[in-house]
Amino acid sequence: MNNKETAAYLRKWVKTAHGHFAWPTDGCGYDQHIKFVCHRNENWNLNISWKQFILDYAYMLEKDRE
């Protein structure tokens, strides 16, 4: 998936229920998954909800500001 496809997928993902160990990028391919994990490791803190973090990341992907 490219960045815009992944952003759309993530926006849909946050609207549905998932298992405890599910990753938002499970269906996006290896490269997008690793990109998300690296971004999470560098940027996520507990002051923001996981859902909002995912939506912010989707916005960044769509704007190619990573």
Mean pLDDT over 36-54 rounds to: 93
Q: What is the pLDDT of residue 52?
A: 95
CB atoms within 10 A of CB 30: 8
Q: What is the pLDDT of residue 65?
A: 55
Q: What is the pLDDT of residue 16?
A: 92
Q: Report the alpha-carbon distance of residue 44 to residue 30 in Å, rounded.
A: 20
Q: Which residue has the tokens 């990109």?
A: 35
What three-state secondary structure class fits 4? helix
Confidence (pTM): 0.87
Mean pLDDT over 40-66 rounds to: 89
CB atoms within 10 A of CB 61: 25
> What is the chain's mean pLDDT, rounded?
92
